[in-house]
């Protein structure tokens, strides 16, 4: 120790190496947990399938089959002119007795969605459906506030929630309501499907990431008795469970995760059903995808700050608590990734670092375990869900690139989540995109705020490339593969983002010029 502290340079080098390995150890912790969840999924998958079959079989033989409970479907919408019709068509086609079904259009819109929703509600009322168009004077609490206000007048004992971009299958209620025969069940979550997975490389990567979460992670947590979360949509709540857990609260941007944990801490069981898929539209713009991820990352960390203290005091196993903490803080992987990128170059510049090449050898193995953990979930999810899974897994490297490319944006979200509660709920634009040509005519209606991060992400790509160049000529070759992944990820996300921004600027300029020309002709 005297040698270390007696030489400032040596102390700096040891501190740098220690910090680098600490960040890698964090990534290793989260990456290794992917293997844990995968093993639990394989161990308990049959249990989940047998439970699903048993629940449906017992439901068919129970009085509930002929005396179904009252269900209120809540549809929180905000400026959804392109998808509101598709949503209502699907909801109104649900196979459920009309006298037991109530539909609430919780409409906070500020554009012509209001008129469209009003006309559609009137149309379906004429067909005998109980549908209410609910308007608020403000957006207090955003989605959580709308759901809370809607619940005050809802008639249903159970509340099914669908976001505007979802298309529930006709048998959705028939396959999920049976779980509530167990009075301890407070919520049932279905699997998210996709309406546009083949639209672009970006939507392909998102679909694989979502598949991994819903097929492997949620299944493993639900079937093995761990904490899981309601994903905000495509699920059903028991009204009493919401009330007992303290109701909808808007002090985090992930009100769904917050309520899920409060309900489980209050003793309620949450169920996940792999066999019921509810398709949804994937964001087709990088800016929209990053905005959605930002909200999830910030909200998850806010929920972690709020939930972890009572979680640690809860009467459950330490393994369940450990898994819950990893679940709540999962987005910490992004600042950890960012730190490893930033530290890699000074680490290789350190004086006599070659004599401590063991640091890079250890880094290689930590990186490898961290990287292949999520990839194992991606491969397994495709194998579980799709007969043609072999043709789908070729996109998995791109999933890794996209995940690293949003590290800067999500790191900012994590910092905000650690420092602040609440925040603005930025909606993800939905366009009913089915073919490549659909976007151009609709995009201009719902421009997102101009993203200022792409230039910084591009700079990080250049930085990672410089580190890669240096690493490839020295013993740093141990970490070269991962620097290559980081560089490609940042280049992909930044260049896509810059391209979208330029398209927006060009359209605005062109649109202004067109208006001026039209005025001059008059």
Kindly write down the DSSP assignment for every residue of 184-225, as one continuous string. Answer: TEEEEEEEEEES-TTS-HHHHHHHHHHHIIIIIIHHHHHHTT
pLDDT the model gives residue 502: 85
Given a cut of 50, whether residue 234 has pLDDT beyond it is yes
Tell me which of 107, 163, 256, 258 is the catalytic residue: 256
Q: What is the C-alpha to C-alpha distance for residues 185 and 189, in angstroms, rounded to an integer? A: 11
483 pLDDT higher than 70 = yes
Of 108, 231, 94, 249, the closest CA to residue 156 belongs to 94
Instruction: Fill in the DSSP letter of residue 473.
Output: T
Residues 6+ apart with CB under 8 A from 316: none
Distance, in Å, from the CA atom of 27 to the CA atom of 17, rounded to the nearest integer, reads: 15
The CA distances from residue 390 to 235, 274, 383, in Å, are 30, 21, 8
Does the pLDDT value for residue 67 go beyond 60? yes
For residues 229 and 272, give the distance between their C-alpha atoms in angstroms, rounded to a whole number. 9
- 67 labelled catalytic: no
Q: Where are the alpha helices (H) located in 224-357, listed in sequence order?
A: 239-244, 255-265, 286-313, 318-328, 333-349
pLDDT at 470: 85
Q: What is the mean pLDDT of residues 72-81?
A: 96
Tens-place pLDDT, residues 38-47? 999 999 999 9
Task: Give me the numbers of helices (H) and strands (E) for the chain, helices first please.
Answer: 19, 7
H or E, element range at 461: helix 454-472
Cα 38 to Cα 203, 404, 432: the distances in Å are: 24, 22, 33
For residue 518, name the pLDDT band (cuts at 50, 70, 90): very low
How confident is residue 475, by pLDDT bands cut at 50, 70 and 90? low
Q: Categorize the per-residue pLDDT at 5 as very low, low, confident or very high, splitting at 50, 70 and 90.
A: very low
| Mean pLDDT, residues 493-518 | 71
pLDDT for the residue numbered 352: 53
All domains of the chain, ordered by start, with CATH? 18-28+333-516 (no CATH), 31-57+69-284+305-315 (3.90.550.10)
Q: Are 138 and 110 in contact (CB under 8 A)?
A: no
Question: Around 55, how many Cα atoms within 13 Å sit in the side-chain half-sphere?
Answer: 21
Read off the pTM. 0.92
Output the average pLDDT for the chain: 90
Six-digit token pair at 484? Answer: 């290559």
Whether the pLDDT of residue 519 is over 80: the answer is no
Q: Is 451 annotated in the active site?
A: no
The predicted structure's pLDDT at residue 392: 95
pLDDT band at 481 (very low <50, low <70, confident <90, very high): confident
Radius of gyration of the chain (CA): 25
Residue 192 pairs with which residues in a beta bridge? Answer: 278
pLDDT digits (tens, 9 = 90+) for 488-502: 999 999 999 999 888
Q: What are phi and psi of 279, to 5 degrees?
A: -65, 150
Digit-coded pLDDT (tens) for 125-173: 999 999 999 999 888 999 999 999 999 999 999 999 999 999 999 999 9
Determine the distance from the C-alpha atom of residue 440 to the mean position of all C-alpha atoms in its chain, rounded to a whole number: 25
Contacts by 58-66 with C-beta closer than 8 Å and gap 24+?
Answer: 58/178, 58/181, 59/177, 59/178, 59/181, 62/181, 64/177, 64/178, 64/181
Mapped onto helix, strand or coil, the DSSP state of residue 277 is: strand
Residue 515 has a pLDDT of: 36
List 108, 165, 432, 451, catalytic entry: 108
Residue 394 reports pLDDT greater than 50:
yes
| Each residue's pLDDT tens digit, 334-389 | 999 999 999 988 887 765 555 556 666 777 788 888 889 999 999 999 999 999 99
268-290 residue pLDDT tens: 999 999 999 999 999 999 999 99
Regarding predicted confidence, which is higher, 92 or 520?
A: 92
Higher-confidence position of 30 and 63: 30
> Which tokens sit at 71?
């269900």
Backbone angles phi, psi at 347, to 5 degrees: -65, -40
Give the model's pLDDT for residue 444: 61
Predicted pLDDT at 471: 81
**Whether the Cβ atoms of residue 178 and residue 185 lie closer than 8 Å to each other:** no
Determine the distance from the C-alpha atom of residue 65 to the mean position of all C-alpha atoms in its chain, rounded to a whole number.
34
């Amino acid at each position: 120790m005297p040698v270390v502290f007696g030489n400032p340079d040596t102390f700096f080098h040891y501190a740098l190496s220690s910090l680098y390995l600490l960040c890698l150890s964090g990534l290793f912790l989260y990456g290794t947990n992917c293997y844990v969840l995968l093993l639990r999924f394989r161990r308990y998958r049959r249990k989940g399938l047998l439970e699903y079959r048993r629940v449906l079989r017992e439901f068919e033989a129970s009085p509930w089959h002929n005396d179904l409970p009252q269900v209120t479907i809540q549809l929180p919408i905000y400026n959804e002119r392109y998808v509101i019709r598709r949503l209502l068509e699907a909801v109104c086609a649900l196979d459920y007795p009309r006298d037991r079904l109530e539909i609430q259009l919780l409409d906070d819109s500020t554009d012509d969605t209001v008129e469209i929703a009003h006309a559609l509600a009137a149309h379906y009322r004429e067909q005998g459906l109980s549908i209410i168009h609910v308007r608020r004077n403000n957006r207090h609490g955003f989605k959580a506030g709308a759901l809370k206000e809607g619940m005050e007048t809802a008639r249903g004992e159970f509340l099914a929630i669908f976001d505007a971009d979802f298309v529930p299958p006709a048998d959705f209620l028939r396959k999920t309501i049976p779980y509530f025969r167990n009075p301890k069940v407070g919520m049932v979550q279905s699997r998210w499907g996709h309406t546009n997975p083949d639209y672009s490389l970006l939507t392909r990567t998102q679909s694989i990431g979502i598949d991994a979460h819903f097929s492997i992670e949620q299944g493993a947590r639900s079937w093995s008795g761990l904490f899981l979360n309601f994903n905000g949509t495509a699920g059903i709540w028991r009204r009493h469970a919401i009330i007992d857990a303290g109701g909808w609260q808007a002090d985090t941007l992930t009100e769904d995760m917050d309520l899920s944990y409060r309900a489980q801490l209050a003793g309620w069981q949450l169920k996940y059903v792999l066999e019921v898929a509810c398709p949804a539209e994937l964001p087709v713009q990088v800016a929209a995808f990053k905005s959605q991820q930002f909200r999830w990352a910030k909200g998850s960390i806010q929920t972690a700050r709020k939930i972890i203290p009572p979680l640690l005091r809860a009467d459950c196993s330490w393994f369940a608590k450990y898994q819950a903490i990893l679940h709540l803080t999962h987005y910490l992987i992004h600042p950890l990734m960012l730190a490893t990128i930033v530290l890699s170059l000074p680490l290789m510049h350190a004086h006599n670092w070659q004599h401590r090449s063991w640091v890079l050898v250890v880094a290689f193995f930590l990186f490898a375990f961290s990287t292949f953990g999520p990839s194992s979930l991606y491969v397994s999810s495709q194998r579980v869900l799709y007969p043609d899974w072999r043709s789908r897994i070729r996109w998995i490297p791109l999933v890794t690139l996209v995940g690293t490319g949003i590290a800067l944006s999500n790191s900012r979200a994590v910092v905000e989540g650690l420092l602040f509660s609440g925040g603005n709920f930025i909606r993800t634009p939905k366009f009913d995109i089915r073919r490549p040509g659909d976007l151009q005519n609709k995009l201009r209606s719902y421009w997102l705020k101009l993203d200022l991060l792409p230039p910084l992400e591009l700079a990080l790509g250049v930085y990672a490339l410089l580190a890669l160049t240096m690493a490839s000529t020295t013993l740093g070759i141990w970490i070269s593969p991962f620097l290559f992944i980081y560089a490609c990820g940042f280049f992909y996300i930044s260049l896509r983002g810059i391209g979208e921004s330029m398209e927006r600027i060009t359209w605005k300029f062109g649109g202004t010029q067109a208006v001026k020309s039209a005025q001059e002709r008059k």
